[in-house]
Amino acid sequence: MRYGPTAVVALGGNAITREFEEGNITQQWANTRSSLVGVVELIKKGYRLAITHGNGPQVGNNLIRVEATRHMVPPLPLGVIVADLQGGMGYMIQQSLQNKLKMNHIDREVCTVLTQVLVDKNDPSILNPTKFVGPFIKEEDVDEMVQVRGWAVKEDPGRGYRRVVPSPSPLEIVEKEIINFLIRNEVILICSGGGGIPVYIEENGTYEGVDGVIDKDLAASVLAKEIEADELYILTAVDKVALNYRKPNEIQLDKISVDEARQYMEEGHFPKGSMGPKIQAAINFIEAGGKVVVIGSVEKMKDAIKGKTGTRIEA
């Protein structure tokens, strides 16, 4: 096979645990298999490929398990939960993709790489965490969570109280050398799952974990830069990026430039909690030398590859 461009595909957390589903393991396996249809199309075209994924719903479920069993077994810190999910979700994606390749008579190796992502230990979000995680907390229990467990707890406006954790900006992939080696040797990788395990460097040069989470899309843009990818696919729950989203005057975008993307962000079209990080990731990737970003739905990735749907962002 003659190998073509290099791409990163970022699957949203909803690709594996869908909204309005229970999220049991049978559903997760079925969703994983269906989410890879478009990925197989890129592989058929000879792409060198790295796949990353979100883990928001899964982190929330694991935190509920930790709280429910706290009286029986020692609780796990958030960084370890992210690492555990990289393994478990990577396994589902890896095996599902291996089976699809066998069915299509494609001879490519698939590998999951446990990935740490470097952050700044003085990142503002570490000092002032704002990322909501886990279940809601009763108002009368907030003081105990803060004083006994040492959590930061804030009100999720209009919804209730929840734990907040740091969500520092990703700077560098710790395992970038081995990832690049595998990519050059045509191995299809699943890496940087859930945004990667956040770590910082101590004064003596050693790594130390951060009890927080990294935005998956921002980490995907760093990964794409590290492997010198040509294309970045950010797959989510909508077919296209839109201005005035879910308003009567909504405008769906087929193609925009980086300058237009930045302008629309400044105008407030892309909130931080939804499309904002995806657009920022696209801007970061293109400015670092990437050729194109496609933002679209998981279900329509095959059409997005052909330019029939999705939003393309270029220089």
Query: Which sequence positions are flagged as catalytic?
Result: 13-14, 131, 216, 278
Q: How far apart are CA 220 and CA 53, in angstroms?
A: 9
Exposure string for 192-218, b = 16+ CB within 10 A, e = fewer: bbbbbbbbbeeeeeeeebbbbbbbbbb
- Amino acid occupying residue 146: V
Nearest CA to 253 out of 313, 301, 314 is that of 313
The torsion defined by the Cα of 150, 166, 77 and 151, in degrees rounded to 10, comes to 20
Q: How far apart are CA 82 and CA 66, in angstroms?
A: 13
Q: How far apart are CA 160 and CA 142, in angstroms?
A: 11
139 contacts 155 by C-beta, under 8 angstroms: no
Nearest CA to 62 out of 45, 32, 42, 84 is that of 84
